[in-house]
Every structure is written in structure tokens, then in C-alpha cells.
Structure 1
């Protein structure tokens, strides 16, 4: 009985000792903090063999591994955004180092600027319509090239010459947007443009316009060029996603009597949704950044989108502070759009 009592007392004492060891003293916290920034070879043995150090060592590897990329990202990406927020509250001209802090005057001016709201409406129209049209065409063409042509020996197969079609569709991606804008500006030219000449050749002369790019049709002309220039990229992107779908799934659908439309909406589209969602965000950002097309194609004051209006205020009017305010608005629109699309487009992952 006495031995049992002594052993129990020792156990209590031992557990109490371990509990005291588990408590971090200020000195131990300091040693662990120093060990976090020191290389492992310089870590004292009194810290190296502590179980808390082993956990700390795992986080140290992750932190040091990400330190350099995060530093570069902070300097070249985050820092310009912070500077833009600061300069949006100044009257900086962009041509001198002097400026005056004005608070929210630029934001109040932007709120009452009719031209800003016209440019915003044009940008939002492109943001809504361009991804829908471009992704719909990309999905249709990629499905036809990947699974639209059936053969007796295969469950699914692309149409004849699908490899050549992919090259043709992707060709606009090789060209610069500035070159595309120049080519289409010539097509829309009222005197020697191919559009008016083509309409006249097929007996639709009443549809001709004297100024396609200087009227209310300008936004729709830019929209057509934007969709045409990017649809090839999504044809290749969606074709790669559809090619990763196992043929056994298509074979099972074919045995069940599913047609092309039912196969697309019940199999192909759900299994490529993650790619479609990513493409939607990317195309929306491209639609918001239609500066090159508008600046090259559309005559001055014909129409504006947010990037072109920002450019005119910064480099033509010398109002860099107000231009950065417009840039902040464009940044917030892009951020909200990406967040909403990633949120509403979320769905349970389909396990193969």
C-alpha cells in the first residue's frame, strides 16, 4: 500500500513537471523566435530537440520557401495598387513631382462625371455580353471538333479536319490586338470597307452605314471584334478539357440512346465546368480591358470604355490623379466580377 502511494505521488509529481515544461517561458519564446530565423545548423541543442521546435521547423520551411515570391509580388503588384489608391486622392498631373492632397474630391468628381458613366456602361455591356457570346461559340466549336462527329468504330470523334480547324480558329491569337484593330477598322470603313461593299453585293445596301465606328453602332462593332479575336483561344482550351473526359462515359451515353445535345448538356458541359468558369473570369477581364481595340479602331470621342477614358485623362488632359481614381473604380469592378463569378459558379466537384 505504501509503495502504491509513493508511485502515485511520483506520477503526480512527474505529470506536474511535464506540465511545467509544456508552459512556454519568456526565455523559451525568445529562443524559439531566434531559432525561426536562424539556419538549422546554428540552432542550439536545447531548442533543436524540443517538440515545439519540430513543429516550428515545418512552418519555417514554408515561410522561407514563399518569402522571395511574395516579396517580388508585393513590390511589383501590391505596391502599385497602394500607390494608385494614394494618388487618387491628389491633384497630381503626372508631369511633375509636385501634388496636393485633395481627399475624396476626385471620387466626388467621378460620381458626377457623365462621361465616366457612359464609359462604365460600355465596359459593363462588354463585360456581360462578350463572355457569353465568346464562351458559347468556344464551347460549340470545341464540342464539334472533339465529339461532334461520330463514327461506327468509335463512341466519339471530332469532325473531319478538326486539327486544321483548330489552327484556323486559333490564328487571331497569333496577331497583336493593335493589328487586329487596324484590320477591322479598314473593314468598317464607310468608303472602302469590306462590310459596306459586302452588304451592297448581296442586295442589303439599306443596311450600309456612313460611320460604323462613330455612332451608336461602335460598341457593337467592338464587341464583334473582341469575340472574334478570343474565340479561338477558348476553342483550344475547351477542346483540351473535353479530350480528358473518358470515352467510356460517352460510350455509356450512346448505349442509352443519348443524342449530341443531351450528351453535351448532361456529360460534356458539367465535366468541363471548372474550365468554363475560369475562362469566364479571364474573358470578363479581357472585355474590361478593351483599350487597344477602342483606342485604335474608334475615332476620338466616338465612344469610350473605362481604360480609354482613363488614358485620355492621364495623357491627354494631364490629370493623372483623376485618372488613377478611374483606375481604382476599374479595379473594384474587376474584383467584384471575379469574386461573384467564382462564388456563383462553385459546385460540388465531380469525382471520376
Structure 2
């Protein structure tokens, strides 16, 4: 019976594992292989160049700028997004005033607020980027128009054209577009925490601040850690690429003066704009290592004893 059971498990997993290896693992292997070649991406012919692409990458000033910006995204965006989402979710589920028949409740209208926060998730990230590109327009954009309407006409920044502001503007868009997802995620986790815990804490004189750090956060830690990693991967991947390419200035985005260039966009530019596919895969390998390192660090720093209830 045991032998038959293991054979059944292997047979059941063989097809999914084969598909995963073919469509996920194999492209990574190919990318690493092509990073040691001079392949242009425009011709099937290429030759081996050893570590030349990696040496070039280490001497590439734009690569270091893109790495710096991607690291900024990986640190700042999860911190701000997860922090805001935890605050909103706590207020929507636990942080309201006591009501008749319910000692623990969210703020009034919490169901409506959840829909409002989640609304950006139904929009394509490309549409979000276009909307904010119009809003940031220094001449006719909504933001400068509001500033002018409240008497701050002298304060008219060139939001996406200012190297000191452009990166911040992009990060604001990424936070706005993703925080709603984590609000819903954390709300689902908080809904599973027994209300008796909060009621007992309130009877002992604990306030909302104490209940959050002593009850909610410890019991929700696994979800928070997963959300942190997921947000970091979004910040290092397609989300940042789409927003930066669409919103920012330059031949393929990333401007002004590479002030918003990130690693995914630089990979795209080298592969499809400059016809340097091998060098693009080299940068892609660096991005892969950065993503794995980020996930490993978050899991290491966030490791703690699992709490059950």
C-alpha cells in the first residue's frame, strides 16, 4: 500500500512539475546561459564571451543608478504600503468606537471604505499610470490646478520633469495603486482573530494602540510577512516597469537624466531598444539575485515563533 501511495503521488505531481520546469525554470536557465554570449536578440547567431557582460555591467553607471532606484523601491514601497494597509485595515475592522451590542467594531461605513480602497485594483496599471501622468502635468494637470485654486499659484512644480521629484511621484502612484489589495488581505486576516481577545484586553484597560501591537500584529504576522515579500517583488518587477515607462520622460522612460530608471526598465531598453539582448539578460540575472536576496532577508528578519489561536 505504501509503495502504491508514493507511486500515485509521483504520478500526480509529474505533469505539474514538468510544466513548471519547462515554463518557469528553463527560461531562467536560458537567461543565465545567454548572459555569457554576445547575442543581439535580432539574429540566431551568437558567440560566447565569458564574463564580459558582467564586467561591463559593473562599469555601467546607468546600471548602478537603476540598481539604486530599485533598492529604494524595495525598501520604501513595502514599508509605506504595508504600514498604511495595516492602519486602514485595523481601523476598518477593530478601531471603531464601541456600539450597542458590539464592543469591537470598525469605523462607520467600513464596508464602503473597503470598496473605495480596493477600487484601484480593478484598473490596469497602465491606465493608472496614464491618469497620474495627466494629473502631474505642470500646465493643465489636476494637482497644479488645485494648488492654483487654493491660492498657491506660485507653487507649480514640474512634477515628472524635476529629477528631485520624479522618483517620489512614481512611488506615490505605486502606493496608491496597491494599498487597497493589502487592506483587503489584512482585513480578511483580522476577521479571523477571535473578538474575545480584544474584549478581554479592553476589560483589562488596554487601548487601541496596545491591542494592535499586542494582539493584532502578532497574530497577523505571517500574513504581514507574506504581504511584505509580495509588495517587494511588485516593486522590483512589472509594476515599477509599467509605471516608470509610461509616466516618465525620455525615449523609453526613466528620465529626466535617468532619475527614475529601474532595473526592469533598463532590461527592456537594452533588449528591445538597443538590440543588446545578451547584456539585458545579464542585468536580468542581477535583478533575479536581488529579488531572491530581498525575499531571503525579509524571511530571515521576520522569522518568529508561530502563534496559534
1:200 pairs with 2:200: no
Contact persistence 2:170–2:244 (CA under 8 A) = yes
Provide the secondary structure at the position in 2 that maps to 1:343: helix
Which stretch shows the higher mean deviation, 235-244 or 297-306? 297-306
Alpha-carbon distance, 1:204 to partner: 3.2
2:245 corresponds to which of 268, 286, 295:
295
1:151 pairs with 2:108: no
Provide the secondary structure at the position in 2 that maps to 1:168: helix
**Residue of structure 2 in register with 1:94 after alignment:** 41
Alpha-carbon distance, 1:218 to partner: 0.9
**Residue of structure 1 in register with 2:22 after alignment:** 75
Contact persistence 2:36–2:52 (CA under 8 A) = yes
Q: TM-score, normalised by structure 2?
A: 0.94
For 1:233-276, what per-residue CA distance to the aligned partner results, in whole angstroms no more than 9, with x for missing partners?
01100000000000111110111111111111111111111100
Q: Which protein has greater RCO, CA pairs closer than 8 Å, 6+ apart? A: 2
Contact persistence 1:171–1:232 (CA under 8 A) = yes
1:127 corresponds to which of 74, 97, 100:
74
Unaligned runs of 5+ residues in structure 2 are: none
- Cα distance in 1, alignment partners of residues 112 and 158 from structure 2: 37
1:335 pairs with 2:257: no
- Cα distance in 1, alignment partners of residues 299 and 204 from structure 2: 34
Which structure has the larger Rg?
1
**Residue of structure 1 in register with 2:118 after alignment:** 170
Alpha-carbon distance, 1:207 to partner: 3.5
Q: TM-score, normalised by structure 1?
A: 0.83
- Alignment of structure 1 residues 49-64 onto 2, 5 Å: 54-64=1-11
Alpha-carbon distance, 1:55 to partner: 4.3
Instruction: Give the number of equivalent residue pairs.
Output: 299
**Residue of structure 2 in register with 1:344 after alignment:** 301
- Cα distance in 2, alignment partners of residues 141 and 231 from structure 1: 9
Which stretch shows the higher mean deviation, 319-328 or 302-311? 302-311
Which stretch shows the higher mean deviation, 224-233 or 147-156? 147-156
Alpha-carbon distance, 1:60 to partner: 1.9
Alpha-carbon distance, 1:347 to partner: 1.0
Alpha-carbon distance, 1:158 to partner: 1.1
